[in-house]
């Protein structure tokens, strides 16, 4: 029961992070109108959000060495609530940017707490399935919160209404975290060198493989963030759709992803997670290429459905497999992988904003393909080196 409740808290932390990340495509234009800026000039707001994530993940490299998960979680969400207060009361782009940075900082540390809870609660052979469970929650939230934001906007609400709803959910999750025992007080896992207990070449090889999976995570989140930010606007421009219809593309991505993640969770119990990851990466690259060439709005929606169905399992599989490159993954290693993804997510809004401003809205879809193709290359390289080196996998505990 303790493990189940702790897992529910970890899953909730991912849902809260999703609530902040996935509303971008829906609220971008209303926020731009609020601050009197273009959409491309407003998109960097989400770079501040993900920049806060990045700082939070860096801090987590040392936080878990000195504080319990429960204390880290409490401090993180206190900052998150302060960030939402800034967002709700913002009348300028600068004050909104501060709010997004603070919210991203708190939500990112909370997500890191969730990842550490999963890592400490499950042995290697069950960790991939547990991580996919957190992604299911992420996808459900990615469907629900943008739908709430879109509904609120349609009813005449403010662009930040969706973030208020996320804050209420975060408050409920914090109360649960304060009441439930979490896996605190466990000894820190060894660092990479100590965990391997092998030669210097083996240690160097592990670092190269971890770096490849980290690069894959960076490119993956950069591509996903780019797609979710610009797909609604690109769809509206290319096929002359009203905003209410174009915004539905976000839900079309996240809705089927729930089924995909559940399917992947079953698959990894009977098929090697590495094979599932390689297949998912290949399909994602093909889908994003086809999206850049889509000939009609219905085709764009169908391709997005397949894209969401097959690709979202990649994130947690890369984290799970990347953490298996050492015998005993430390919270620091897991945080490092999360940090790599945060870098990609942080770069995406500003970089894609420049790409769109320079080459037009449709360039955002092309950038999505480039990121997913790069992630596939990094994953296949990491898996190839792992197979060639006969890597000793983590022993189930």
Kindly indicate the confidence band of residue 191, based on its pLDDT and cuts at 50, 70 and 90.
very low
State the pLDDT at residue 327. Answer: 64
Residue 192 lies in a domain: yes
Q: Give the model's pLDDT for residue 395.
A: 37
Higher pLDDT: 97 or 136? It is 97
Question: Is residue 397 situated within a structural domain?
Answer: no
Whether 26 maps to a domain, the answer reads: yes
- The pLDDT value given to residue 391: 53
**What's phi and psi for 289, nearest 5 deg?**
-65, -45
Inform me whether the pLDDT recorded for 187 exceeds 90: no
> Residue 160: which H helix or E strand, with range?
none
pLDDT over 70 for what percent of the chain?
90
CATH number for the domain spanning 106: value is: 1.20.1250.20
pLDDT value for 396:
36
Do 353 and 44 touch, CB atoms closer than 8 A? Answer: yes
Is pLDDT larger for residue 327 or for residue 393?
A: 327
Task: Tell whether the model's pLDDT for residue 56 goes beyond 70.
Answer: yes
174: containing domain: 2-389
Task: Extract the tokens encoding 218.
Answer: 């960076």
Q: Which DSSP string do the residues of 165-233 spell out, in sequence order?
A: HHHHHHHHHHHHHHHS--S-SPPPPP-HHHHH-S-HHHHHHHHHHHHHHHHHHHHHHHHHHHHHHHHHH
Structural contact between residues 80 and 102, judged by C-beta atoms closer than 8 angstroms:
yes
The answer to the question of residue 175 being in a domain is: yes
Number of domains in the chain: 1
Residue 396 forms part of a structural domain: no
Confidence of residue 304 (pLDDT cuts 50, 70, 90): very high
- Mean local confidence (pLDDT), 175-182: 88
Residue 124 resides in a domain:
yes
Residue 84, pLDDT > 90, answer yes
pTM, 2 dp: 0.72
**Predicted pLDDT of residue 188:** 43
Q: Name which of 29-38, 118-127, 231-240, 353-362 the model is least confident about.
A: 118-127
356 belongs to a structural domain: yes
Q: For a pLDDT cut of 90, what percent of the chain falls above it?
A: 33
**Percent helix, strand and coil across the chain, each rounded to 5?**
85, 0, 15
* 395 within some domain: no
Tell me the average pLDDT of the chain.
84
pLDDT in tens, 314-371: 988 898 888 787 766 566 787 788 888 878 887 888 888 889 888 888 899 999 999 9
């Amino acid at each position: 029961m303790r493990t189940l409740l702790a897992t529910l808290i970890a899953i909730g932390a991912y849902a809260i992070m999703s609530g902040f990340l996935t509303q971008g495509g829906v609220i971008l234009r209303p926020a731009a109108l609020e601050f009197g800026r273009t959409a491309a000039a407003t998109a960097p707001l989400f770079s501040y959000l993900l920049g806060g994530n990045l700082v939070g993940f860096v801090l987590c490299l040392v936080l878990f060495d000195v504080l319990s998960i429960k204390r880290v979680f409490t401090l993180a969400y206190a900052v998150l609530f302060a960030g939402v207060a800034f967002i709700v009361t913002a009348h300028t782009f600068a004050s909104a940017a501060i709010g997004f940075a603070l919210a991203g900082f708190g939500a990112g540390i909370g997500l890191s707490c969730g990842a550490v809870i999963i890592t400490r609660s499950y042995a290697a052979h069950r960790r991939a399935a547990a991580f996919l469970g957190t992604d299911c929650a992420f996808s459900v939230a990615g469907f629900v919160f943008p739908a709430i934001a879109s509904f609120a906007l349609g009813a005449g609400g403010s662009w930040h209404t969706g973030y208020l709803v996320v804050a209420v959910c975060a408050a409920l999750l914090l109360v649960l975290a304060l009441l439930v025992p979490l896996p605190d007080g466990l000894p820190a896992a060894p660092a990479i060198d100590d965990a391997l207990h092998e030669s210097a070449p083996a240690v160097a090889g592990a670092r190269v493989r971890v770096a490849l999976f980290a690069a894959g995570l960076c490119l993956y989140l950069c591509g996903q963030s780019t797609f979710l930010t610009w797909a609604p606007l690109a769809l509206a421009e290319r096929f002359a759709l009203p905003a209410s219809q174009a915004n539905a593309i976000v839900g079309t991505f996240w809705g089927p992803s729930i089924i995909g993640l559940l399917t992947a969770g079953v698959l990894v119990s009977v098929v090697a997670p590495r094979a599932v990851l390689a297949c998912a990466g290949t399909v994602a690259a093909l889908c994003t290429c086809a999206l850049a060439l889509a000939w009609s709005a219905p085709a764009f929606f169908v391709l997005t459905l397949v894209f969401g169905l097959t690709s979202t399992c990649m994130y947690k599989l890369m984290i799970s497999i990347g953490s298996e490159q050492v015998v005993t993954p430390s919270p620091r290693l897991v945080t490092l992988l999360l940090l790599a993804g945060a870098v990609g997510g942080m770069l995406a809004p500003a970089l894609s904003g420049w790409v769109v401003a320079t080459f037009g809205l449709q360039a955002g879809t092309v950038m999505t393909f480039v990121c997913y193709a790069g992630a596939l290359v990094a994953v296949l390289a990491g898996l190839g080196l792992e197979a060639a080196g006969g890597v000793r996998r983590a022993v189930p505990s």
